[in-house]
Amino acid sequence: MSRPFPRWLPGLLLTAALPAIAHAQTQTEAPEYGPELQGFDYPYTLKHFAFESQGQSLQMGYMDVAAHGKANGRSVVLMHGKNFCGATWDSSIKALSDAGYRVIAPDQIGFCSSSKPAHYQYTFQQLATNTQQLLKALGIQKATLLGHSTGGMLATRYALQYPEQVEQLALVNPIGLEDWKALGVPYRTVDQWYERELKLSADGIRNYERSTYYGGRWKPEFDRWVDMLAGLNKGPGHTQVAWNSALIYDMIFTQPVYYEFQNLQMPTLLLIGTSDTTAIGSDIAPPEVKAKIGHYDVLGKQVAKLIPRSTLVEFPGMGHAPQMEEPAQFHQALLAWLNKTNPVR
């Protein structure tokens, strides 16, 4: 049975991690957005960085927000998760800018407002290289990285690849705190991921995120982000979006960073919502495997012991995105650590 996949496909999407979305039978009406999230309002001016990669002309959407008030001369780069975008950092951008930081929030290739090419070898090393090229073009030589979910895996890889350019590393409920394939989660082919992604609906996304990300709770402000993801997936570029999403899931599953946490040398902060149960492939894992993966109340403590200069801050009862669930509490903890570990410039 052949896969209905077009040979074209310019464009992209990268964000946190959505291990197994339950697809609801009914679909709530949601807006439709273009293949590069055209029509969706970003909280700050959206710019585009054009560059060459793997023989293709690509572009990354990004926000570059100056410090509000007295600038401290430091920059923070925000790395979104699989089912998120640079835009989902809106409250964090404001908090960091108000505290004097320049904030860069890119959409990775394959995600949101960025290109989604028909053919691309997705690796965390490639995405780190893309981001480093963006920062170089913006004149940023050193920065603090803040990565959420899949963005936590990317931020870890970036810090390992460019350690001299990373002053501090902060990881918010990063996925990759365990190696799912080594623990017995079955492999999905890219074609299987693609067929699964074609079926995404707003109701399915909302139900999955409510149960897995927010411990069964929901706030009205979360609906904007469901509409963002659902609108991208049901818009005119839905096959491009689904195909790139499938390639990205394969990257996440097959390229663990778990074994290299011990090599991180910069001050590292783990910000962990303890009720998070995110685990790639948990929906198809055997019961005995599913029962032992995705326990962030345990994973945060375990990985904190692996990272030499780590600090662990837990948010009891919070889910996969504490920066969105309780922004004030989250940013208080983040800014306190950033100030405490402020590198000598």
| Mean pLDDT along residues 136-151 | 98
pLDDT at residue 20, rounded to an integer: 40
Q: Does 226 reside within a domain?
A: yes
pLDDT at residue 215, rounded to an integer: 84
CB-CB contact of 269 with 169 (8 Å):
yes
| Contact residues for 339 (Cβ-Cβ < 8 A; gap 6+) | none
> Three-class SS of residue 136?
helix
Q: Which residue has the tokens 């070898």?
A: 121
Instruction: Return the minimum-mean-pLDDT range out of 24-33, 39-48, 190-199, 332-341.
Output: 24-33
Q: Does 15 reside within a domain?
A: no
Q: Does 282 reside within a domain?
A: yes
Q: b or e along 266-297 (b: 16 or more beta carbons within 10 Å of the residue's beta carbon)? A: bbbbbbbbbbbbbbbbbeebeeebbeebbbbe
The whole model's pTM is what? 0.91
| Mean pLDDT along residues 271-288 | 96
| Mean pLDDT along residues 241-259 | 98
What is the widest separation between alpha-carbon atoms in the chain? 61
The predicted-structure confidence for 70-101, as pLDDT tens digits, reads as follows 999 999 999 999 999 999 999 999 999 999 99
Domain count for the chain, please give it. Answer: 1
The band of 170, judged by pLDDT with boundaries at 50, 70 and 90, is very high
- Residue 229 corresponds to which amino acid? L
Mean of the per-residue pLDDT values of the chain: 92
| Contact residues for 259 (Cβ-Cβ < 8 A; gap 6+) | 179
pLDDT at residue 18, rounded to an integer: 43
pLDDT at residue 344, rounded to an integer: 54
Residue 50, pLDDT > 50, answer yes
Residue 46, pLDDT > 50, answer yes
Q: Does 53 reside within a domain?
A: yes
| DSSP annotation of 182 | T
The predicted-structure confidence for 306-337, as pLDDT tens digits, reads as follows 999 999 999 999 999 999 999 999 999 999 99
Give the domain extent around 113. Answer: 47-340
Q: Does 100 reside within a domain?
A: yes
- Residue 136 corresponds to which amino acid? K
The predicted-structure confidence for 283-300, as pLDDT tens digits, reads as follows 999 999 999 999 999 999
Q: Does 40 reside within a domain?
A: no
Residue 24, pLDDT > 70, answer no
| Mean pLDDT along residues 41-66 | 98
| Mean pLDDT along residues 164-182 | 98
Residue 16, pLDDT > 50, answer no
> What is the rounded radius of gyration, in angstroms, for the C-alpha atoms of the chain?
18
> Three-class SS of residue 65?
strand
Half-sphere exposure of 122 (CA within 13 A, CB side): 27
The larger pLDDT score, comparing residue 343 to residue 258, is at 258
The band of 69, judged by pLDDT with boundaries at 50, 70 and 90, is confident
For residue 327, give the CATH number of its domain.
3.40.50.1820
pLDDT at residue 189, rounded to an integer: 98
Distance from C-alpha of 99 to C-alpha of 228, rounded to nearest angstrom: 28
Residue 27, pLDDT > 90, answer no
Q: Does 19 reside within a domain?
A: no
- State residue 300 phi and psi, 5-degree precision: -60, -45
Q: Does 331 reside within a domain?
A: yes
